[in-house]
Amino acid sequence: MGFWDIPLQVWMGQLLLGLINGAFYAVLSLGLAVIFGLLNIINFAHGAQYMLGAFAAWWLAQNLGIGFWPALVLVPLIIGASGVVIERTMLAPLAKLDHLYGLLLTFGLALIFQGLVRQGYGISGLPYPTPEALSGGYNLGFMFLPKYRAFVILASVVMCLAVWLVIEKTKLGTYLRAATENPELVGAFGINVPMTVTLTYGAGVALAAFAGVLAAPIYSVNPNMGADLIIVVFAVVVIGGMGSILGSIATGFGLGIIEGLTKVIYPQGASIVIFVVMAIVLLVKPAGLFGKAT
């Protein structure tokens, strides 16, 4: 089959898939960027916390009969609160040391989370139903668009924009950005910087958990779902340029689409294409597409 013989449905199908994956890349790398911005830590547990989000949604539905919509609010709060505890008890004592220790610590946490879920519930996927209001889909003529997937893309875009607005346009965001630049000075103005740091970590973790709840009806909920994803998200982060909020959003969606379209042209290359893009970007612009040169 030649290049031009590939039917439109296939292109559109993969484009949609790419957009969905891109939505998750964007939300996750956004969470990483927010945490990195203030704590200077690469949160290696981010993938595991995303998994915990999906798993918590499943657990709430299974044991307490709590459905998708309440879970979408509850789960980020619960997992975010666990993030607050982690920051207070483990990350804060490391703040003065080399930031690589934070990466190593969160790596250890990721192992613990994944191991615990695997020990308790096995590695086979746990099914999570699509919420009733979003079952079915739209027939667009050239393709079928499931309602839930459209919702995921929309929800991610809205969430990304909301975070961007908070950080760039509100007073809280100004404090955050100032605390990144000069924590001592901001503290001298009477702002509780350690508290800000803690809450930021909690918020970043909550973002990961939010993505996890969104993912539960699409992907099977299993202990490794975050581990495979997080490596790709790291690449996205490197490509986008770590510091930039907008960079992580744009790069996340963009790379999702590139990955989806590669699946049409050269399926074997789909899992590698993001890393190839990363290598090229590094060659041309070591600071990343949206990053500031160091």
Partner 1 sequence: MMADKALDKPIRTDEHRAERGALLWLGALTVLAVVGPFFVYPVLLMKMMCFGLFACAFNLLLGFGGLLSFGHAAFFGTAAYICGHVTKEWGLDPILSILAGTAVSALLGLVIGSLAIRRQGIYFAMITLAFAQMVYFAALQLAFTGGEDGIQAIPRRPALGLIDISSDERLYVLVSIICLGGLFLIWRIVHSPFGNIVKSIRENEPRALSLGYPVARYKLAVFVLSAAISGLAGATKSLVFQLASLTDVHWAMSGEVVLMTLIGGMGSVFGPLVGGAAIVLMQNYFASIGAWVTIIQGAIFVVSVLLFREGIVGVIQKLLNRRR
Binding site for partner 1 (CB under 8 A): 36, 40-42, 90, 93-94, 97-101, 103-105, 107-116, 118-119, 231-232, 234-235, 237-238, 242, 268, 271-272, 275-276, 278-279, 282-283, 286, 294
**Is residue 37 within 8 Å of residue 101, measured between CB atoms?**
no
Q: How far is the CB of 98 from partner 1 (least distance, A)?
A: 5
Closer to partner 1 at the Cβ: 195 or 282? 282
Q: How far is the CB of 162 from partner 1 (least distance, A)?
A: 26
Q: How far is the CB of 24 from partner 1 (least distance, A)?
A: 17
Q: Where does residue 56 rank: exposed (0-12), middle (13-18), buried (19+ CB within 10 A)?
A: buried
Closer to partner 1 at the Cβ: 41 or 216? 41
Closer to partner 1 at the Cβ: 159 or 237? 237
Closer to partner 1 at the Cβ: 216 or 238? 238
Distance CA 280, CA 221 (A): 33
Q: How far is the CB of 112 from partner 1 (least distance, A)?
A: 4
Chain-centroid distance, C-alpha 11: 25
Chain-centroid distance, C-alpha 168: 19
**Is residue 205 within 8 Å of residue 51, measured between CB atoms?**
no
Q: How many CB atoms lie within 10 A of CB 69?
A: 11
Closer to partner 1 at the Cβ: 140 or 283? 283
Q: How far is the CB of 52 from partner 1 (least distance, A)?
A: 14
Q: How many CB atoms lie within 10 A of CB 221?
A: 24
What token pair was written down for 263? 């699946």
